[in-house]
């Protein structure tokens, strides 16, 4: 409880939240769970991509991340270009004003320091820089909690990401590759820690999957993605997408020919056309599409499957968290790192070059070791739970010092620009 003569701590959450990406929203949900359990007195609101969704789903006030409502539409006409440019100026003042109203701002997970998917510097990297610079100028502590990072080739994007990280008061990462990437970009990471992805802190649904593959074999979840390569693949984007879709479709068709029910999963609203394309190409009652609207829904789907083959990072997280043997269609180093952390590092296949025959070989090898891998995942999930408990203790020590007298010292950075 907050003493009557003290003002409750004001906490803001920031990011592309409520915008249709289930992984981003799952990270927010994990942080809100932590705040409500450990700091129930905190007054929480959001500056985010989908304020209506965040307010309705999580019960906190929320404001739009961008002043210009057409921020995510391609601007080709002079008026739209001018409006977008004006929006960038207005957002600088809006962000600074929002940050000043808070004691703490948390960026919950997400790949905010990477460009493994197509990204322009004046998009989210600029928004994140405004946030972190405003925090430094106003004295508001900005925390990048369990975030993802990766090497960035584009110089303007790399500069904005580097300075955002330097200006944050607290940083932790979801894998060691992320910390290494920021170190390589010139950020002092000596006091930054690595923890499992925040989504592992979400409640796990009751176990419903068998301890080993039944006879006959049961359903397979296939998580798909509107994948066109990364930020440096724009010239080959359509070729990469076509190869990914063709290979994934062939794999699903082979499963169906073997009599396996297939459940298609997504992780973002933009993945829907890929689902439609596979359903049209395979055209079998054995192939159905899930309508998941949260990571909890995805966990229920993957818990009911014998095996999961998935592309999106948080599809993998959900499957691994519920202990289902999983094969990653890996599109970035973060997926490989996650699989290695959970003991399934041998079961990765490149999303940029899906070979349906090779993928099927890996899938069958995975299923042969199903019972053993379920035991491995159970053990790794116990370790992960303890590591995330430490993450939240460290976060309390860094951001809520009055509530952390008996907790470890915070890992706080305040570098000078």
Is the pLDDT score of 126 beyond 80? yes
User: Is-above-0.85 flag for pTM?
Assistant: yes
In angstroms, how far is CA 115 from the centroid of its own chain?
13
CB-based contacts of 53: which residues, under 8 Å, 6+ apart? 18, 19, 25
pLDDT of 115 reads 78
Q: What tokens does 245 get? A: 């879709």
pLDDT of 86 reads 79
Burial label for 352, CB within 10 Å (0-12, 13-18, 19+), is: middle
Q: What is the CA radius of gyration of the chain?
A: 22
pLDDT of 416 reads 31
Q: Given pLDDT bands bounded at 50, 70 and 90, which one contains residue 312?
A: very high
CB-based contacts of 218: which residues, under 8 Å, 6+ apart? 210, 260, 261, 305, 306
pLDDT digits (tens, 9 = 90+) for 16-50: 999 999 999 999 999 999 999 999 999 999 999 99
Determine contact, residues 301/327, Cβ cutoff 8 Å.
Answer: no
Nearest Cα neighbor of 94 from 47, 52, 144 is 47
pLDDT of 123 reads 86
Is the pLDDT score of 246 beyond 50? yes
To the nearest 10°, the Cα dihedral for 27, 32, 34, 35? 140
pLDDT of 24 reads 95
Q: Given pLDDT bands bounded at 50, 70 and 90, which one contains residue 414?
A: very low
Residue given tokens 């322009």 in the structure block: 120
pLDDT digits (tens, 9 = 90+) for 73-103: 555 566 666 766 777 888 999 999 999 999 9
CA–CA dist 114, 150 (Å, integer):
5
Q: What tokens does 287 get? A: 């192939």
pLDDT of 75 reads 53
Q: Given pLDDT bands bounded at 50, 70 and 90, which one contains residue 417?
A: very low
pLDDT of 79 reads 62
pLDDT of 275 reads 98
Question: Which SS3 state, helix, strand or coil, does residue 329 take?
Answer: strand
pLDDT digits (tens, 9 = 90+) for 318-362: 999 999 999 999 999 999 999 999 999 999 999 999 999 999 999
Burial label for 216, CB within 10 Å (0-12, 13-18, 19+), is: exposed
Determine contact, residues 219/306, Cβ cutoff 8 Å.
Answer: yes
pLDDT of 415 reads 36
Q: What tokens does 152 get? A: 């960035």
pLDDT of 231 reads 72
Instruction: Provide the pairing of β-strand 287-289 with 307-310.
Output: unpaired
CA–CA dist 166, 168 (Å, integer):
6
> Where is mean pLDDT largest: 113-127, 168-182, 224-238?
168-182
> 56 or 409, which is more confident?
56
pLDDT of 71 reads 61
pLDDT of 209 reads 46
Q: How much is the average pLDDT of 129-152?
A: 96
pLDDT of 107 reads 98
Lowest mean pLDDT among 165-169, 373-377, 401-405: 401-405
CA–CA dist 172, 189 (Å, integer):
9
pLDDT of 406 reads 44
pLDDT digits (tens, 9 = 90+) for 287-306: 999 999 999 999 999 999 99
Q: What tokens does 156 get? A: 């303007």
Lowest mean pLDDT among 71-85, 182-196, 245-259, 326-340: 71-85
CA–CA dist 85, 111 (Å, integer):
25
Q: How much is the average pLDDT of 273-280?
A: 97
CA distances from 87 to 82, 95, 99, 161, 318 (A): 8, 12, 18, 20, 37
Q: How much is the average pLDDT of 224-235?
A: 86
Q: Which domains does the chain carry?
A: 10-194 (3.40.50.2000), 220-378 (3.40.50.2000)
């Amino acid at each position: 409880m907050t003493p009557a003569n003290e003002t409750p701590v004001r906490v803001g959450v920031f990011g592309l939240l409520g915008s249709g990406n289930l992984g981003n929203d799952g990270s927010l949900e994990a942080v809100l769970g932590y705040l409500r359990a450990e700091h129930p007195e905190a007054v929480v609101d959001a500056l985010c991509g989908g304020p209506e969704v965040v307010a309705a789903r999580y019960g906190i006030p929320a404001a739009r991340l961008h002043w210009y409502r057409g921020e995510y539409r391609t601007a080709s006409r002079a008026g739209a270009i001018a409006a977008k440019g004006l929006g960038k100026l207005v957002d600088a003042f809006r962000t600074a004003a929002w940050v000043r109203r808070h004691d703490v701002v948390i960026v919950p997970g997400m790949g905010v320091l990477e460009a493994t998917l197509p990204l322009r510097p004046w998009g989210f990297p600029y928004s994140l820089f405004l946030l972190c610079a405003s925090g430094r100028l106003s004295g508001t502590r900005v925390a990048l909690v369990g975030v993802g990072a990766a090497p960035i080739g584009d110089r303007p994007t790399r500069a904005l990401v580097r300075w955002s990280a330097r200006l944050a008061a607290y940083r932790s990462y979801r894998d060691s590759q992320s910390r290494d990437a920021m170190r390589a970009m010139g950020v002092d990471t000596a006091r930054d820690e690595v923890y499992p992805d925040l989504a592992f802190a979400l409640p796990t649904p009751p176990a419903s999957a068998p301890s080993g593959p039944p006879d006959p074999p049961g359903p397979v979840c296939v998580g798909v993605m509107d994948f066109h390569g990364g930020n440096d693949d724009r010239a080959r984007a359509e070729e990469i997408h076509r190869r990914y879709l063709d290979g994934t479709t062939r794999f699903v068709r082979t499963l169906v020919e073997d009599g396996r029910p297939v459940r298609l999963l997504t992780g973002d609203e933009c993945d829907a056309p890929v689902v439609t394309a596979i359903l049209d190409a395979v055209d079998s009652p054995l192939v159905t599409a899930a309508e998941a609207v949260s990571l909890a829904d995805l966990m229920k789907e993957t818990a009911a499957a014998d095996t999961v083959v998935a592309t999106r990072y948080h599809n993998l997280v959900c499957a691994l968290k519920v202990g289902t043997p999983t094969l990653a269609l890996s599109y970035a180093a973060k997926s490989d790192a996650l699989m290695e952390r959970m003991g399934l590092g041998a079961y990765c296949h490149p999303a940029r070059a899906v070979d349906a025959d090779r993928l099927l070989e890996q899938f069958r090898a995975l299923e042969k070791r199903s019972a053993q891998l379920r035991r491995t995942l159970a053990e790794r999930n116990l370790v992960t739970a303890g590591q995330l408990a430490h993450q939240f203790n460290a976060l309390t020590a860094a951001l809520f010092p009055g509530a952390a007298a008996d907790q470890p010292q915070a890992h706080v950075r305040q570098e000078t620009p």
